[in-house]
A and B are shown apart, each in its own frame.
Chain A
Amino acid sequence: MNPFLTLLDIEDHCKANSVNIPRQIAMERDWLGIGFKSSNFNFVCPMQVVSEVLIWPALTEVPAAQSWFRGTANLRGRILSVTDLQGFVSGVPHKPLPLSRILVVKLNDGLSGFAVEQVLGIERFFGEEIKPVASLLQAKEYLRYAKGAFERDNQPWIILDFAAIIESTEFYHLLTARMDVA
């Protein structure tokens, strides 16, 4: 007698005699993130990506760097580089305003600062679908770094992928072309 068939037999018997477990309600995802504004649009990124939010610190300018690179700051003894998010993505520099903040992004064991227009606080998207971004994104330059979007009260909230920014080739081309020694 084939032992495997015996096992299958036993399985069938068990299934026939088992009591059904009550249908479990699928747990809806609770998405938590930090909301912020850039290029006048609403963005959001996962909570664990941002380790803190800073009020505009004293920045040391770095010569020979691209215009979207704001400089370096002292974060409790550690050097933090600050990039102007809007300037980097869209080429339009962002002027520091009273509401401007720096998001300290912690990825790959490193810290990077991103200057944004305004931090809107912790945003919670409970049980909402992540929609494809193309339809909702109005600022096309952000498309490369967008990982999806939520829609709430007819307002799009684009999920920004900081990892994509930090790993992009442009991010590494910090030295202005003018300084290139060919």
Chain B
Amino acid sequence: MDAQNEVLLNIFLEEARDLLDALALTIQKWSTDLQDKSIFADLKRDLHTLKGGARMVNQPQLSALAHELESFCALMLEGNIGVNREAYDLICKGQDRMNAIIEALVKKQTVLGTEDMIAELKGKPVAATVPVLSELVSSLPLPQATEENRYAENKAIPKVASEPAGNEIIRVRADLLEKLNNLAIESNIIRVNMGHFVENFSLHITDANKILKVLQEKLKMVPKTAGMQVTSEIQGLIHLCKQLSQVQSNIESLLSQQSRIELDLQNRLVDTRMVPFNSVVPRLSRIARQLAEELNKKIDFQILQSEGEIDRNILEHLVTSLEHLLRNALDHGIESPEKRQLANKPEVGKITLRFYRMGNDACIEIKDDGNGIEPEIIRRKAIKLGFITEEAVLSTEDLIRYILEPGFSTQETVSQISGRGVGMDVVNTVVKGLGGNLAIESIPGQSTTFTIRLPFTTSVNRALLVKVQGQIFGILLSNIESIVLFDIKQIKENLAKSAAVIIHEGKEYQFKYLGDSLGLESKPNLEIAKEGLPVLLFNFADYNVALLVDGLAGSQEIVVQTLGPQFKLMDIFSGATLLADGRVVMVLDACSITTRAIKKLNETPEVRSLETKHPVVLVVDDSVTIRTVTKNFLERHKYTIHTARDGMDAFEKIEKQIPDIILLDVEMPRMDGFQFAEKIRSISKFSKIPIIMITFCAGEEQRAHAHRIGIQRFLSKPYQESELLETIENLLEKR
């Protein structure tokens, strides 16, 4: 294909994708009310455009299909074909076929023919009356092609433009927008610096005026003749100063105007990142349809509410999660048509998607009317995986939340679509990473609802600047419930306790110094803070925390910049921002620092239990799953568990507290099991700690080597839990 045709094809493919997206939205709208004839005009128009384009780039199959679909729509509009579920399904099939063709063209693969689809469409009987099948359809008689209807059709056409007139849409490269954003920020900084210089300028003029005044006074004492020579010069200088002052004040007012403009510019640039939530609808609808077919289930995927915009970055992160929730609903939720009928449910399952704002948050809700989540099944699985004990008593809500644990899957056969157990926990992590939370509600046998709640914050936000140990940090005001001033006495009292709780307006808050949550060693300087110190109150779903800081540094609008991939694991920071003077200020993630504040509090009792008879086991493994599962299992058998990620981490941990026994994995980054064992054996205070090495392949060579180093026992993965317990007991007895 020569270059020009290639270019033409690419242009067509881009347009085709847009048209197909628009078609998907219209079809979706149609599904909520099958008798709504206004949508046909939109469908016809888009199909017509698609047909023309396809013809131009020499795609006769596609063009013929579009044409046939267009005629089909015309027939439905005129009433010559019944508007019912079958027709809807046929249109959807046509749409899917066209999508497939476009994708094949994009990937330069062979394109499917469309004769079969065209035949199907042609074969649809042109009947005068066709019975209504879908329960969505109202019981109106089918309209005939009367004068009245023609008028109705004409009336429908003006509804074509759903966007306000004059709002042209232009494609812009994302990196260009990012660059514009950065330029706006830089410009802001430069203006602020200019402001400082202008301020300086004004001070210089004041100084000059003072000197001139002094000079004038001195002149009076000088003999008149000499004095007269310079009087006019001095007058000249005074006048000059006045003019300079005028110039300076003009500049100041211009700068202030510029500041307003810049803020506007920045805000609008941030707005460009917003995309309509609608944009995920075509993709989700398609997936729903395809999956339903694959699984032989009948479903109706409805978008109840989808107006509104969401930050593009957030949507990107969410899309795969939404897809997974949808797959989940289809795979695990909705039952097969037979099962549904047995349960006296309508044959066609219903999955709904809703996007709405609630206060400061954006919520996305996916609900299905399937078989719900059975708490008993979850309970059994959780016990089997060692997450809870037989005796544990949990509310249904808490129990259901275990499906978010990694490795959890209650589908007996892991289906290709979902159920691998890696899905739900990832969704939860993604949502948490966006600062939101995932709520699950279910009525067994009836429905399951997943609600994703996200802070609807655009990057520009008001933040509180706080001082901790001489450093300034930012915290988004929207996360802070309130700020209270504590007097020194109260602070001293609370800091002295290891698990202080304060009461404010009837609520209990766990009290902590922010410096501790940040891993800073020093304590607040109570000597210089005579009037007291500020305490920030945080209120989250399951806990309340009060964080003490060393001082406040005001509040201001900030633009939070995300930090590089290096900061992915640094959950305490949600980003960084630049102050007006160019300084970088780290922005704290409120949820994360408050969680750490509590966790540290909860850790202290564990340390004390050393004195009781719970032996301390250090589990060293680079897999989070293995650490968690082992920890939970051993804790049930009354061991105290510490964990470490790898050799170096383990070393740091044993320096802090010597465990009674070590479970050691071999393959780990930074320092593997053998290196670690050698290292600690060479240090006398650690040389006596019994070690159980756990690995995949325990060849003779390895065992011998281990023995030489002084590793007492070897277990191969997968090991029996009883074996591990016995080995541990054995080794501990020997000490």
Contacts and interface: CB of A to CB of B under 8 A. Distances in A.
Interface of A: 58-65, 71-74, 76-79, 81, 83, 108, 110-112, 166, 169-182
A176 B519 contact: yes
B385 to A, nearest CB: 19
Contacts of A72: 563, 576, 584, 586
A181 B653 CA distance: 13
Contacts of B519: 63-64, 176, 178-179
B357 interface: no
B306 interface: no
Given A64-B570, A65-B570, A74 B584 contact: yes
B376 interface: no
A60 B564 contact: no
Interface stretch (B114-122, B181-189, B718-726): B181-189
Contacts, number: 99
Contact of B566 (A61, A174, A177, A180): A174
A64 B589 CA distance: 13
A78 B182 contact: yes
Contact of A174 (B561, B570, B595, B652): B570
A108 B649 CA distance: 29
A180 B569 CA distance: 10
A176 B570 CA distance: 9
B569 A175 contact: yes
In this complex, the interface size class of chain B, counting residues with CB under 8 Å from chain A, is 35 or more
A79 B584 contact: yes
Contact of B567 (A78, A111, A174): A174
A172 B568 contact: yes
A173 B569 contact: yes
A177 B586 contact: no
5 contacts: A59-B584, A79-B563, A81-B564, A81-B567, A177-B649
A108 B564 CA distance: 11
B184 to A, nearest CB: 9
Given A64-B572, A81-B566, A181-B599, A74 B586 contact: no
Chain A residues touching B, majority SS: mixed
Contacts of B471: 60-61, 63
A179 B586 contact: no
B450 interface: no
A63 B520 contact: yes
A60 B567 contact: no
Contact of B583 (A74, A169, A170): A74
A177 B647 CA distance: 12
Contacts of A173: 569, 645
Nearest to A182: B643
B523 to A, nearest CB: 15
A181 B569 contact: no
B585 A60 contact: yes
A79 B566 contact: no
Interface string B459-502: 00000000000010000000000000000000000000000000
Contact of B569 (A71, A111, A174): A174
A177 B571 CA distance: 13
Contacts of B645: 173, 177, 180
Given A64-B518, A65-B570, A72-B576, A177 B653 contact: yes
Interface in B414-461: none
A172 B576 contact: no
B669 A74 contact: no
Interface-centre pick from B518, B563, B596 (highest chain A CB count, 10 A): B563
A74 B582 contact: yes
Contact of A172 (B561, B569, B596, B652): B569
Contacts of A62: 570, 573, 586
B624 to A, nearest CB: 10
A170 B671 CA distance: 11
Contacts of B631: 182
Interface-centre pick from B565, B584, B627, B631 (highest chain A CB count, 10 A): B584
Given A60-B585, A81-B563, A174-B569, 20 more contacts: A60-B471, A62-B570, A65-B570, A72-B576, A73-B584, A77-B182, A77-B183, A77-B578, A79-B563, A79-B576, A83-B566, A110-B565, A111-B564, A166-B566, A172-B566, A172-B569, A173-B645, A175-B570, A179-B596, A181-B599
Nearest to A168: B669
Contact of A78 (B561, B583, B596): B561
A96 B645 CA distance: 32
